């Protein structure tokens, strides 16, 4: 089993597809957010450093993130392979990931999930979050039963500031610049890089990914 990296803009459904791939191959789904939360909950040295940064409203540094990734990938259950989601985001992170000694065999396989900016803006600007229990809804694909009210706890739904259309557009500018550089880097390293059409239903995207992996004989 190869080591798979999912790239794509925010709102492209990377987390969903990564989880499906991990289940299909019987390997761990490595989510940066989950890794950080686990390290904080377990009280590791790096987890405590991450907690301090997050509580101060600061971005968690590359040193901390890469350190937590290193600790995670060194575990025995990652020896057969893994699916990475949310990391790396920059060439600097990719270079450090490349330098990690993992026990998983084979090269990295990079899947670049493509969704038009216009659709990403619609997807993310339609997102609403419960102000109490933080359950997430989408006004188009998974709306609440009552407008503006959480199905679970009855609290009001809010729109996050970074889900405003103008903010999303700015985030996408940054994403494209970083993603283009990442793909260029991985191609220069001889990694298998494949584009995937990320539009449509979850099952349709999953089938496209499966077809690509079968064509490339990724197991």
Examine the residue annotation and report whether 171 is marked as an active-site residue of this protein.
Answer: yes
Distance CA 34, CA 85 (A): 10
17 close to 6: Cβ distance less than 8 angstroms: yes
Which is the catalytic residue, given 51, 70, 164, 171? 171
Distance CA 12, CA 25 (A): 21
Examine the residue annotation and report whether 114 is marked as an active-site residue of this protein.
Answer: no
| HEC letters along 74-100 | CCHHHCCCEEEECCCCCHHHHHHHHHC
14 close to 202: Cβ distance less than 8 angstroms: no
Examine the residue annotation and report whether 146 is marked as an active-site residue of this protein.
Answer: no
Which is the catalytic residue, given 146, 160, 187, 219? 160
Which is the catalytic residue, given 3, 96, 123, 127? 127
Which is the catalytic residue, given 37, 70, 80, 89? 89
Which is the catalytic residue, given 3, 14, 123, 128? 14
Catalytic (active-site) positions: 14, 89, 127, 160, 171
């Amino acid at each position: 089993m190869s080591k798979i990296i999912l790239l794509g803009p925010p709102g492209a459904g990377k987390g969903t597809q990564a989880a499906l791939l991990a289940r299909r191959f019987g390997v761990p789904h490595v989510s940066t957010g989950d890794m950080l939360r686990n390290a904080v909950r377990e009280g590791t040295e790096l987890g405590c450093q991450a907690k301090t940064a997050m509580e101060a409203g600061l971005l968690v540094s590359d040193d901390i993130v890469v350190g937590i990734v290193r600790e995670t990938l060194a575990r025995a259950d990652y020896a057969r392979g893994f699916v990475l989601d949310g990391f790396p985001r920059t060439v600097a992170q990719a270079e450090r990931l490349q330098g990690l000694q993992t026990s998983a065999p084979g090269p990295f396989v990079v899947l670049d999930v493509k969704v038009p900016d216009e659709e990403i803006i619609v997807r993310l600007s339609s997102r609403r979050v419960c102000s109490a229990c933080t359950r997430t809804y989408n006004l188009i694909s998974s709306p609440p039963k009552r407008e503006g009210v959480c199905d679970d706890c009855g609290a009001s739904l809010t729109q996050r500031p970074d889900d405003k259309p103008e903010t999303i557009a700015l985030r996408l500018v940054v994403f494209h610049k970083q993603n283009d550089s990442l793909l260029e880097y991985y191609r220069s390293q001889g990694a298998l890089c494949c584009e995937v059409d990320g539009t449509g239903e979850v099952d349709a995207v999953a089938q496209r990914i499966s077809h690509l992996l079968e064509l490339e004989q990724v197991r």
